[in-house]
Every structure is written in C-alpha cells, then in structure tokens.
Amino acid sequence: MKMLAGGTLRKMKTRLESPVSYKMSLGSDDIHLNPLVKKKIKLKYLGRIYCIHCGRKSNKSFNQGYCYPCFQKLAQCDSCIIHPEKCHFEQGTCREPVWGEKYCMQDHIVYLANSSGLKVGITRATQIPTRWIDQGAAQALAIIRVRSRLQSGILETMFKQKLNDKTNWRNMLRGEPTPLDIAAESQFLIEEFKSEIDEVKDRFGIFSVSVLNGIRPVTIKYPVEEYPKNITSFNFDKEPEVQGKLVGIKGQYLIFDSGVINLRRFSGYEIELSH
C-alpha cells in the first residue's frame, strides 16, 4: 500500500451533496474519501496524541481530542455543553465568558432528525447541516430558532418528554431508517407544547423564540455501498492498524467490510492513511 497522507486527525469535513462529500483531515492535508469507497485502505496509529486545542503531546485524549489541562479549563469541555439548560454563562460561572459570548450567546436551532428513529436536537444556526450529517441523519428539519444556547436547551429538555435526544449509533449504521413525515411530527410537537413555548417567550422576550414555518425537511444521502450485518467497532488504543475494504461513510464513521470506526472519537491521534 502507498501512504496518501499522515498527521494529526480531526473530525471529517463534510459538504451536503448527494451523496454527502467527505474529507479526512490529517494535519494540513484534506483527503477526499468518496473516491476510496469500494477500495482497500489502511489507517495506522503512530502512538502519539496531540491536544486539538493547545497542541501539546498527551498520553490520553479527553472529550474527543483534548489534553487533561484543557479538558479541565475550557468552557467547550464543561458539563453545560452536554446540558445547555444548565448554562454557566447564565449563572455567571462560565469558565470563559468571552468564549461563551461568541458561541453560546448566538442563534441556535432546535431540530428534529431521523437517524436511528425520530429525535430532537439543538445546534448553533451556523452548524446546519453539518450537525445533521455528523449524526448520520437521513432526514432533518429545523423547527425553532432561538437567541441563545440556554434557550435551545430549555426547549430541548421540554421536548425530551416526548422524544429521544440520542442517536443509537449501532442502529444508524445498520441501514437507512424508516422514512417519517417529519413535518407532521414537528407540527404535532409545536401544538403539544404551545403553552410551554409561550412561557419561554415570556421569560426571555417575545422575539427570543421563533417557530419556523414553511421549511421543507432535508433528506440526506450517504456514500454507503453496503451496511454491516454485525457491527464490530475498531479502537486505535487496542488495534493500532485498521484496514480493509471501505464500503461506506456515514456520520463520522468509516464502514469497513470488517468493522466500523468513529474517527471523531480519535481526534488528536497521529494517523497515516494508505491505499
């Protein structure tokens, strides 16, 4: 095999096409992966990990790519990223108020997605459709726009009374989900929680919450030739070399004829790609 590129791994870059266009980021190189589907490739972990924030060498990766000091001090690694309804910026205890102002105090979208079944999720408005692709969603629809991450977290927590907020990655990789009338699901949800949505408007101001109407659901196709019957997950910490026929790419997963690997999980690992 011939080495195509090597460097510190980052999550794959994507572009919404039909199918989705994928690039693997290794150091300063971006390798277009779609042409490698149906071909044999090899990924080799070289035994070194570098923090994706500060660049220091680390013995272990925390929170998908950070060294321990960064994991401890950065606002983007705080618990309120997972639980935005507990926003530390709102409480005046944000680790990095400037970062919070830039990333949390901006427009967010509450959305519905169908990846392994219907789920509710939130993301910055600028991260659509990237967020949907990273989750392997086959269908997605933006339903509400709000002014901050806190507000989106409050609405998501509310909707979780009826919907899941997690993607079952194994089911997502087993095949395409059953198509849903996601627009009808959205209408039902908005009507079901109308009074609660009005309460959020009363708390933050009438212009803080905008229910989105007239938007068509997005359908997303992935470059997958074959879905695995039995899912085996590769781990660079246990197997420094992963190789086989690349049969598909979905979410942040490479699907081989012998197993799957979540590349985002290994952000910061020094990797060589060969073909």
Helix (H) / strand (E) element for 90: namely helix 88-91
Please tell me the predicted confidence (pLDDT) of residue 90. 83
Q: List 118's β-bridge partners, or say none.
A: 114
Host domain of residue 254: 3-49+222-274
Model confidence over 37-62: pLDDT tens digits?
999 999 999 999 999 999 999 999 99
Q: Would you call 202 helix, strand, or coil by DSSP?
A: helix
Same domain, 159 and 230: no
Q: Which residue has the tokens 């990237």?
A: 130
Residues 211 and 260 in one domain: no
pTM score: 0.95
| Residue-level pLDDT at 91 | 86
For residue 13, give Cα distances in angstroms to 129, 130, 214, 263. 12, 9, 29, 11
Q: Percentage of the chain with pLDDT > 70? A: 100
- Tell me the CA distances in angstroms from 262 to 110, 150, 240, one per residue in order: 25, 29, 14
pLDDT tens digits, residue range 5-17? 999 999 999 999 9
Q: Are residues 111 and 212 in the same domain?
A: yes
Total count of domains within the chain: 2
Helical (H) or strand (E) element with 259: strand 259-262
For residues 190 and 249, state if they share a domain.
no
Is 80 within a domain? no
Within the chain, which residues score under 70 in pLDDT?
A: none
Whether 44 is covered by a domain: the verdict is yes
Give one DSSP letter per residue of 100-159, joined into a string.
HHHHTSS-EEEEEEESSSEEEEEEEGGGTTHHHHHTT-SEEEEEEEESSHHHHHHHHHHH
What is the per-residue pLDDT for 229? 87
In a domain, 194, yes or no: yes
The pLDDT of residue 1 is 86
**145 and 244 belong to one structural domain:** no
- Packing angle of the helix pair 182-192, 194-204 (nearest 10 deg): 70
